[in-house]
Structure 1
């Protein structure tokens, strides 16, 4: 159940395809539903996790090991992360120096991850064949990195959270009756103005969407609740239409390189939560 006094924790990261805008909709869908445990296997910026005040044990997972390590450092030593983070400056020179650097200390690595995320092009996370982060500088005038109080608030929110790096199927092995699973996979079909598919097709293929569809069947069989977001595309509707609710949501796309190329994007939301 969502806490009676919601505590809004600012997401630490800008994340392409992030769902901060969807938090009010998710809260309405949950209503007074009792949640045993909360699972988010495509964590990314974890906007829904941070935006809801669910009084339950949480499990966050992602394939991105550097991301999960960053959350671990914020949870354990937020002051140390801040000490390194505050030293960065939003300049092109500082960005590329940080991008090519390899900090030794885990807290410094987390600070670097956060800095690059907030100063990169559109908050995209992308690595080359050598596994090196290669997103260009974003030339952002508005440099809004998390402050110490943001890191401490996130640390508090992460206290009862299990953090793992890995595939979504493994992350959902321990889902049980009454658990809530929020699924926000990378979108792998082009729709509307969403250009993010260009960065996802090698990370999450349509074959993975089939695996996810089968996992949704498993979740329903276990008596768990799920909320799934995905592209508003006929192939997606056919794959995930399981007799549960399908809701159309709309947002302004923020991934296209030019503002003139951005527009409204419609997305699907599937859920087996009971209607209140």
Structure 2
């Protein structure tokens, strides 16, 4: 399956709502890699190329990718008959103890599909399923099967991002979606990303900028703009998205934790080390390229 599909997961900070904006900037390529795959919205939304590498440091996430790719029917059978209820969410979160990788993936998948915004950090992994806007359990098998099909022959790893960037071949294209620079990421992510990690990412990309192409998405901050002042293009982007609320959130039960649902406007910058077809000044840049 090479056609676009939706990500199998809900993921905080995922690029589902920005995917069309991002894909417009992606150049032709035959080798694709994501050092921070997360929910993988861009990989699943674009056409699959000859070589694909998905990576993330989150062990449970990566295990779930492996199980979906290699054992989709076993995962479907384990989840067969499941219902989306607070009681089952509580059971998987607090009581269920996986005995193997299949059970670990089943637990992760259930919690991800029924938790608010797909937040998997235990302290903030709250019930967040709604019949009107969440994928129902009876539709999970179709979701798993089509995801498994697209993941066939895809390299999946759990490595530090630096190893991925330094290992891809010359000419590879990388979509890079690290945690935000100024975000309160401790609420949302199992693995935090330090300021030193942000600096290390910038340094590694600078060192490899002449042999690979990359598009990196970041929160719009002066610090990031200064770090990447050597990039070829920086685009300010906005898009609308809505986070729906469960009854508990509507009643303000967890409003103090900043998980209230509202209509938002995503604001980020896209940083590229190449001239894109979406550049507002493409004609003059093309003249430069031709000289």
- TM-score range, shorter-chain basis? 0.7 to 0.9
TM-score scaled by length of structure 2: 0.81
Q: How well do the aligned residues superpose, as a CA RMSD in angstroms?
A: 2.3
Deviation at 1:208, TM superposition (A): 1.0
Instruction: Tell me how far apart the structure 2 counterparts of residues 250 and 224 of structure 1 sit (CA, whole Å).
Output: 26
Q: Cα distance 1:253–1:188, how it changes in 2: closer, same or farther (>3 A)?
A: farther
CA contact (8 A) 1:16 1:196 kept: no
2:110 paired residue number: 115
Matches within 5 A, 1:1-276: 7-31=3-27, 33=28, 35-100=29-94, 101-127=96-122, 135-141=125-131, 142-144=133-135, 145=137, 147-190=140-183, 196=185, 198-199=187-188, 203-221=192-210, 223-252=211-240, 257-260=259-262, 262-276=263-277
Question: 1:63, 1:166 within 8 Å by CA — same for their partners in 2?
Answer: yes
What number of residue pairs does the alignment pair up?
259
Structure of higher CA gyration radius: 2
Gaps of 5+ in 2: 244-257, 278-291
Q: Distance in 2 between matches of 1:201 and 1:76?
A: 24
Quote the offset at 1:127 in angstroms.
Answer: 4.1
- Separation in structure 1 between the aligned mates of residue 85 and residue 60 of structure 2, nearest angstrom: 23
Q: Tell me how far apart the structure 2 counterparts of residues 6 and 246 of structure 1 sit (CA, whole Å).
A: 29
Contact 1:90 1:143 in 2 (8 A): no
What is the deviation of 1:196?
5.0
SS of 1:171 mapped into structure 2: helix
Unaligned 5+ segments in structure 1 are 129-133
Q: Which has the higher helix share?
A: 2
Q: SS of the residue aligned with 1:181?
A: strand
Rounded Cα–Cα distance in structure 1 between residues aligned with 2:233 and 2:265: 22
Query: CA offset at residue 249 of structure 1?
Result: 1.2
Separation in 2, partners of 1:103, 1:237: 44
**CA distance in 1: counterparts of 2:231 and 2:162, whole angstroms:** 22
SS state at 2:37 partner = coil
